[in-house]
């Protein structure tokens, strides 16, 4: 997966929730952006369809 952070996702949430989230992130010495990126990565990895492997294929690539 690319490491470039070249896209934005705008999410509208309640200001009180946002403020509490940012404050907790600061207390935990992390950033709100980092935590959202971690959430998205875990969510995608958990929910993306599994790729079927071919017989004799050990890494998902064709020989």
Collapsing DSSP to helix, strand or coil, 41 comes out as helix
pLDDT of 61 higher than 80? no
Print burial letters for 22-36: b (CB count within 10 Å at least 16), e (below 16): eeebeeeeeeeeeee
Q: Which of 1, 62, 18 is nearest to 10 (CA)?
A: 18
Q: What is the pLDDT of residue 55?
A: 63
Boundaries of every domain in the chain:
15-47
Structure tokens at 38: 């971690």
Number of Cβ within a 10 Å radius of residue 54: 10
Comparing CA positions, the residue from 38, 13, 10, 14 lying closest to residue 25 is: 38
Residue pLDDT, tens place only, 2-59:
578 899 999 999 999 999 999 999 999 999 999 999 999 999 999 999 876 666 555 5
Predicted local confidence at residue 37, as pLDDT: 95
| pLDDT, position 63 | 42
């Amino acid at each position: 997966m690319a490491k470039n952070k070249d896209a934005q996702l705008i999410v509208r949430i309640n200001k009180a929730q946002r403020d509490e989230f940012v404050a907790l992130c600061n207390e935990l010495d992390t950033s709100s952006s980092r935590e959202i990126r971690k959430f998205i990565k875990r969510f995608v990895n958990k929910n993306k369809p599994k790729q079927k492997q071919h017989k004799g294929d050990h890494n998902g690539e064709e020989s």
